[in-house]
Structure 1
Amino acid sequence: MDEKQRVISRLIVQVGQMLLAHGAESTLVGDLTHRLGLACGMDEVEVSMSASSLVVTTVMEGHCVTTARRSPDRGINMKVVTEIQHICIMVERKVIDYRLAERKLNQIQPTRYNRWLVLFMIGLSCAAFARLANGDEIICAITFLASSVGMFIRQEIAHRNFNPLLNFTVTAFVTTLISSQAVVYQVGNYPFLAMASSVLMLVPGFPLINAVADMLKGYVNMGIARFVMASLLTFATSLGIVAAMTLTGTWEWVR
């Protein structure tokens, strides 16, 4: 019985660890780990979360087991979160037991879109923002080029596991450096639109949404931690933009 409880406790904390690492909001993490523990036969399941770690306590027939795990950021991936939810539902419906659930959990691999498709769609979306702001074809083309190159730089830096803050700073610098040429050479109807639109890909929207959701749903510490991280990413982006504008001398349009 003790061995079963230990195995289930490890399964629960692994689920929570993977959910946190791939961007799930705290309410979902707490709910899924609690439901999974009860479905596996635990009497009680308590979960405590912080920005980079997870502590799970299970109670079964008066025996208490507590386990802790670190939860490093693995990047936002909702496919992983969805697959974990499916496993939890199957355990609840008695389709699989906890041992099969553990095997299925270990088989989950984060999938990524084709990087060239990502580059094209990022460039297209930023160009669409420029178009919505009444930019002409030249402005849209420059925005597309700057944001696509910037996203390529971002992917390369992330692939080499550099700090995300450094990644955002360098990406913002390169993107602004390219888009600022529209202001330098005064091409297009509104040259400054290329600079404003091309860096929109660096807005940390998902972390900010999760931060607000966590605070509204009672996970204040997690919400504050996520909000601080999103703010630091925004600050890093601003540093890159300011550095590029200082280098090219394209401050006029801000005044």
Structure 2
Amino acid sequence: MESEQRAISRLIAQAGQMLHAHGAESALIVGIMERMGLACGMDEVEVSLCANSFVVTTVTSEHCMTTARRCADRGINMRVVTEVQRVCIMLEKGILDHHLAQQRLSKITPERYNRWLVVFMIGLSCASFSHLAGGDRAVFAMTFIASAVGMIVRQEIGHRHFNPMLNFAITAFVTTFISAQAVVFDIGNSPNVVMASSVLMLVPGFPLINSVADVLKGYINMGIARFVMGSLLTLATCLGIVAVSGVLAMFGVML
């Protein structure tokens, strides 16, 4: 019985790690872990979350087992979150036991879109914002180029596992430097729109939304941690933009 409880505890911990590492909100992480434990026959499952780790305790037949796990940030990936939820539902319906669920979790991989498709769509979305802001075709084209190149830089730095704040600062600098050429050479009817629209890809919307959701659902520590991280990423982006303004002596050009 102890060995089975240990296996179930590892299953729950692995599911929690995957959810935590790929951007799930705190209520979902705790809910999925508890549901999986109860579906596997545990009497009680208790979870305590921190910003980069968690502690989970399982109780069955008055026997308690506690395990702690660290959770590295592996980037937002809703496919992983969805697949873990699917495993949980299959456990609850009796389609899987904890051995099959463990095998299924181990096969989940964070598949991502083709990088060039992402570059194109990011460029197109930022350029679309510039068009909505009143920019002409020249502004649209400059925004597309600046944001697409910036996304390539962001991907390359991310693949080398640099600090996210350094990634955002460098990406913001490169993107703003390219978009600032529209102001320098007076390209399009609203050159300032190029500078404003091209860096929209760096807005950390997901962490900030999750931080609000966590606070509203009672996970205050997690909400504060995610809000601070989102704020630091925003600050890093601002520093990259300000650095370009200093290099090109363009302070106030976006006002």
TM-score by length of structure 2 reads 0.99
Paired residue for 2:178?
Answer: 178
Determine the structure 1 residue equivalent to 2:77. 77
Verify the 8 A CA contact 1:22 1:75 in the aligned structure 2.
yes
Q: 1:120-199 to 2 correspondence within 5 Å?
A: 120-199=120-199
Distance 1:97 1:80 in 2: 20
Partner in structure 1 of residue 103 of structure 2: 103
Structure 2 Cα separation of the partners of residues 252 and 78 of structure 1: 39
In the alignment, what sits opposite 1:6? 6
The match for 1:35 is 35
The residue aligned with 1:243 is 243
One-letter amino acid of the structure 2 residue matched with residue 123 of structure 1? G
- Separation in 2, partners of 1:54, 1:8: 16
1:252 CA displacement: 4.2
Q: Is the 8 A contact 1:184 1:250 kept in 2?
A: no
Q: Could you give the per-residue CA deviations for residues 141-192 of structure 1, whole angstroms, max 9, x where no partner exists?
A: 0000000000000000000000000000000000000000011111110110
Give the Cα separation in 2 of the matches to 1:96 and 1:179. Answer: 53
SS for the counterpart of 1:46 is strand
Structure 1 residue 135 displacement after superposition: 0.3
Amino acid at match of 2:47: V
Give the corresponding residue for 2:216.
216
Provide the C-alpha distance between the structure 2 equivalents of 1:235 and 1:20, rounded to a whole number of angstroms: 24
SS of 1:108's equivalent? coil
| SS state at 1:59 partner | strand
Counterpart Cα distance in 1 of 2:96 and 2:252: 64
The amino acid that maps onto 1:97 is: D
- Structure 2, unmatched stretches of 5+, are none
Q: Percent identity?
A: 65
CA contact (8 A) 2:195 2:254 kept: no
Secondary structure, aligned partner of 2:178 = helix
**TM-aligned CA deviation for residue 254 of structure 1:** 3.5
The question of whether the paired residues in 1 share the 8 Å contact of 2:196 and 2:254 is answered with: no
Distance 1:244 1:50 in 2: 37
TM normalised by structure 1 equals 0.99
Q: Number of residue pairs matched? A: 255
Asked if structure 2 preserves the Cα contact closer than 8 Å seen for 1:183 and 1:250, the reply is no
Amino acid aligned to 1:68: A
Letter in 1 for 2:235: F
Amino acid of the structure 1 residue aligned with 2:222: M
Give the aligned CA root-mean-square deviation in angstroms: 0.6
